[in-house]
Amino acid sequence: MKGILLVNLGSPRSTAVKDVREYLDEFLMDEKVIDYRWFFRALLVQGIILNTRPAKSAEAYKTVWTDEGSPLIVITQKIQKKLQKLVDVPVEIGMRYAQPSIEAGIQKLIDQGVTEIVLFPLYPQYAMSTTETVIEKAEEVRKKKFPGIKINYIQPFYNREIYIDCLAESIREKLPENFDALQFSYHGVPERHIYKTDPTNTCNLNDCCSRENNPSHQFCYRHQCFDVTNSVIKKLGLPKEKVMVTFQSRLGKDKWMEPYTDETLETIGKKGVKNLAIVCPAFVSDCLETLEEISVEGKHQFEHGGGENFHYIPCLNDEDRWIDVVKTLCEEKLNEFYLV
C-alpha cells in the first residue's frame, strides 16, 4: 500500500521561551544548517545563540501565532486535508524539526498499512539546509526504525511549468495595480553552502547562474532562485527593470548570498521606489520569515527608508491551484512505484 508524507520545516510547540529554545536547539544544531564541526557549532549555538535569541524569537512568534497555533503547521495541515480529498492513498505530514516529526509521520502511514511512501519536501529550490537535510533525516529514520519500507522522494520543482504557472497566477491576482518594483525575497544561505552542494566544482557564484546550461544548476540554490524569478516575470510579462532579487534571514557574520533583503528595503525608497510589492518564493507556506520578518519588519524598514506603500504577497499556502500541483507531483512519484 502506498502513502504520501508532506514535510515542512517545523515550528516551536508554543511561543513560550523554553519551547522556542528547544526548537532552535534542534534546528541550529543541524550540521546542514550551521555547517561547523560539532564542537564549534555547539559553542556558537548552545553557548551563545540559545542564551540570547529564544526570548527575542518568542516575541516574534507571538506576532504571527494564531488561535489554531503556528501558521506554518496550520497551513501544512490544510494542505494535507485538501490533498487527502483528491487522492486515494493516505496523506500525513512531518516536520524536519520539532513535532510532528518525520518519524511520527512515517509511523502514522505504517499504521494504515503503508509500505511505500512518496515523501514531498515542500521546498521549491534545492539547498543543503532544506531538501538535503530532509532526505538525510528521513533515510536515517527509515534505516533505524522502518527498514522494510520504501521511500520515493520528490525532487525540487522550481523549474516545473505547473509550479511556475501556479506561482505566476497567484502573484498576478495579488499584485497591486500601481507598483514601482516587485521584489523577490528568497531565504538566504551562506555562500559556502553553494560550493559544498556543487559536486561538479563548476560554480563560481558569478556568471554561471546566468548560463543557459551549467552542470551545477541541479544543486545550485542561487541559480534556482534566479530561474524561478525569470520564469515568473516572463509569464507575467513584467519588464526586468521593475524586478529585483534579494536574500533574507542571514545569521551570524559569515558571507551570505547578496544582495540582502533588509539592506535593500532600507535604501530603495530613497532611490525612487515608493510603491513596493514583495513576494517570498522560497516558501510555499507563510511562516515567521514571511509574516514577521517581511510583512512586519520589512514594511517598517521600507517605510523608514523613504518608501510609502508596501504590499506583501502571501505564499501559495492552501490555494486550490497549489494543491493541484502537489497532487500532480505526488501522483508522478506514486506511479513510479508501479514501474519498479
pLDDT tens digit sequence for 160-203: 999 999 999 999 999 999 999 999 999 999 989 988 887 777 77
Q: Please check whether residue 314 is in contact with residue 174, taking contact to mean a CB–CB distance below 8 angstroms.
A: yes
pLDDT tens digit sequence for 287-329: 999 999 999 999 999 999 999 999 999 999 999 999 999 999 9
pLDDT tens digit sequence for 204-238: 666 666 666 776 778 899 999 999 999 999 999 99
Asked if the peptide bond before residue 199 counts as cis, ω within 30 degrees of 0, the response is no
Q: What pLDDT is attached to residue 162?
A: 98
Q: 181 and 248 share a domain?
A: yes
289 is in an annotated binding site: yes
Q: 10 and 138 share a domain?
A: yes
pLDDT greater than 60 at residue 281:
yes
- How many domains does the structure of the chain reveal? 2
139 is in an annotated binding site: no
Question: Which amino acid, residue 186?
Answer: Y
pLDDT tens digit sequence for 47-85: 999 999 999 999 999 999 999 999 999 999 999 999 999
pLDDT tens digit sequence for 115-140: 999 999 999 999 999 999 999 999 99
Q: What pLDDT is attached to residue 54?
A: 97
Q: 23 and 153 share a domain?
A: yes
Q: 248 and 292 share a domain?
A: yes
Nearest to 212 by CA among 232, 226, 193: 226
Residue 42, domain extent: 2-157+320-337
pLDDT tens digit sequence for 253-280: 889 999 999 999 999 999 999 999 999 9
pLDDT tens digit sequence for 145-162: 999 999 999 999 999 999
Q: 28 and 91 share a domain?
A: yes
Q: 59 and 45 share a domain?
A: yes
Q: 134 and 192 share a domain?
A: no
Identify the burial level of 287 via C-beta atoms within 10 angstroms of its C-beta, where 0-12 means exposed, 13-18 middle and 19 or more buried.
buried
Q: 290 and 209 share a domain?
A: yes
Q: 190 and 153 share a domain?
A: no
Q: 203 and 61 share a domain?
A: no
Q: 124 and 174 share a domain?
A: no
Q: 173 and 212 share a domain?
A: yes
Q: What pLDDT is attached to residue 218?
A: 81
Q: Please check whether residue 185 is in contact with residue 247, taking contact to mean a CB–CB distance below 8 angstroms.
A: yes
100 vs 104: CA distance, rounded Å = 6
Q: What pLDDT is attached to residue 212?
A: 64
